[in-house]
Chains A and B, each alone.
Chain A
Amino acid sequence: MNGVHDMGGMQGMGPVQYEKNEPVFHAVWEGRVYSLNRAIRAWRKWNLDTDRHGIELLPPADYLRMSYYERWFTRLLTNLVQFGFVTKEEMESGKPAPGSSRATPALTATMSSGFLSRGIPSSNDPKVRPLFKVGQRVRARNINPSGHTRLPRYARGKTGTIMIDHGVYSFPDTSAHFLGEKRQHVYSVRFTARELWGESASPRHFVHIDMWDDYLERA
């Protein structure tokens, strides 16, 4: 979706604000929100792409105002109700519904280190044929899906060169919405800054963007 999260190339956001000796979490609640999100994903009711889309769905003004972990907390509340973990009544009372059964946590402390090292699947599955090859000129398609996508607006319609074939990954645009993994090749595509930003850009500036087969067409 063409949301406010798709920030590449926007202007007017001000200077970078740097904090010296920044702590990992600025308050205890941030660490709890982070780990609640991780622990609940161990239930596998939704995936990483669904989670990313949950943040994108925040109203733009809220997205810009909220701190990072406030966004995570708000998304979590929404997901918990939507995917049936917690009823609205339980959110209201803060207590489990009378007579409701107690679950067994999907993630325990002894499991957590193994859980952390479990990977995002990819493969070199030869049955999934690449549509493009290294060195080929390609154009990022001009698409504007209203759901989740990882094709940033600033690259659409722009021409670049395939530099690396990263292998086969599931396709976020479908996987976020439980429409299948639609596994396909992902490439590192190099764009000149002049192609992206016009003739005033430096000829010695390049942007490398990772793109799925479905984002590309022959140039």
Chain B
Amino acid sequence: MNTTRRGFLTAAMAAAAHGQLGAQESGHDHQEVPSDLTLRVKALESLLVEKGIVDSAALDALVDTFEHKVGPRNGARVVARAWADPSYKKRLLSNAPEAIAELGYTSGQGEHMLVVENGPKTHNLVVCTLCSCYPWPVLGLPPVWYKSAPYRSRAVIDPRGVLAEFGLQLAEDVELHVWDSTAELRYLVLPERPSGTENMTEDQLAVLVTRDAMVGVAKVPAPRPGGNE
């Protein structure tokens, strides 16, 4: 094991210093994983466990949380509740952290939240131009495109162009508000409730709500005739 591990970390550090880490990747943010990253990360984890710096079970728990427990389904429950219950919506727009905690979603990166509401003449879009800030408790970890250079660079200067790439054409008379997450505030878009959903239950509404609509790069589509359930 020692011989397998030997040199991997040093190689990773040297590669970083010389700008070669990930040289096998293509030029964009997409994931073509250099296989030796698997080995380097394993080597580092083994070293840190042996030194007592980290506990593997704690790492497992963190991965499990973000793969299975926290994600955009949480945000969809929040949106559906706001659509179904006007008093909840009022609380959500005036004190988002408390209203979101009512549904039990309280993990980190959601302590300070603002919910911004879309309407027929108002559209909101969320970005973090400086890094990757994102409301983890309600949306989970951000997708690659949200953290990518094309989205971060253009969302503030050419939001209509970005939205068009997502297939969303906004009418000229719609006011567009872009929220750049430069501090510890995290933003969630409350999308417009689509027509044809008047008789749906909160559970049925939650199924309709997408991650993209809660970032503001899409609208929630109206349910197909015949119903979604």
B127's nearest neighbour on chain A, judged by CB, is A8
Let me know if A32 and B59 touch, CB within 8 A. yes
A75's nearest neighbour on chain B, judged by CB, is B16
Let me know if A210 and B58 touch, CB within 8 A. no
Report the bound CA distance from A18 to B176 in whole Å.
Answer: 22
Let me know if B45 and A32 touch, CB within 8 A. yes
Contact with A along B19-42 (1 / 0, CB 8 A): 101110101111101000110111
Interface stretch (choices B83-91, B149-157, B198-206): B149-157
Let me know if A19 and B145 touch, CB within 8 A. yes
Q: Is B229 an interface residue (CB 8 A)?
A: no
Let me know if A204 and B6 touch, CB within 8 A. no
Interface stretch (choices B61-69, B188-196, B220-228): B61-69
Let me know if A26 and B33 touch, CB within 8 A. yes
Let me know if A205 and B159 touch, CB within 8 A. yes
Task: Determine the chain B residues whose CB is within 8 A of the CB of A154 once the complex forms.
Answer: 129, 156-157
Let me know if B106 and A117 touch, CB within 8 A. yes
Chain A, 84-115, CB within 8 A of any chain B CB: 85-86, 90-96, 100, 102-109, 111-113
Let me know if A39 and B180 touch, CB within 8 A. no
B9's nearest neighbour on chain A, judged by CB, is A91
Count A-B contacts at CB 8 Å. Answer: 317
Q: Is B48 an interface residue (CB 8 A)?
A: yes
Report the bound CA distance from A116 to B155 in whole Å.
Answer: 29
Q: Choose among B8, B140, B175, B178 the residue with the greatest number of A CB atoms under 10 Å from its CB.
A: B178
Given contacts A27-B31, A197-B157, contact A38 B62 (CB under 8 A): yes
Let me know if B67 and A24 touch, CB within 8 A. yes
Q: Which of B29, B153, B160 contacts A7 (CB 8 A)?
A: B153
Let me know if B185 and A186 touch, CB within 8 A. yes
Other contacts beyond A7-B152, A150-B130, A188-B185: 4, CB < 8 A:
A67-B29, A74-B21, A150-B182, A166-B183
Kindly list the 7 A-B residue pairs having the minimum CB-CB distance in the complex, ordered from nearest. A94-B5, A8-B129, A210-B183, A35-B62, A119-B111, A103-B52, A109-B57
> Which residues of B does A touch, CB under 8 Å?
2, 5-10, 12-13, 16, 19, 21-23, 25, 27-31, 33, 37-38, 40-48, 50-55, 57-63, 65-67, 71, 106-109, 111-112, 114, 127, 129-132, 140-141, 143-145, 147-157, 159-160, 162, 165-166, 172-185
Q: List 24 A-B contacts (CB under 8 A).
A: A5-B131, A7-B130, A13-B148, A26-B144, A29-B38, A35-B63, A36-B41, A62-B19, A65-B27, A70-B37, A94-B9, A102-B52, A107-B54, A111-B58, A112-B62, A120-B112, A122-B184, A152-B129, A164-B114, A166-B112, A204-B176, A205-B159, A209-B182, A210-B181
> Which residues of A does B touch, CB under 8 Å?
5-11, 13-19, 22, 24-36, 38-40, 43, 52, 55, 58-59, 61-62, 64-68, 70, 73-74, 76-78, 80-81, 85-86, 90-96, 100, 102-109, 111-113, 116-120, 122, 150-152, 154, 164, 166, 169, 186, 188, 193, 196-197, 202, 204-212
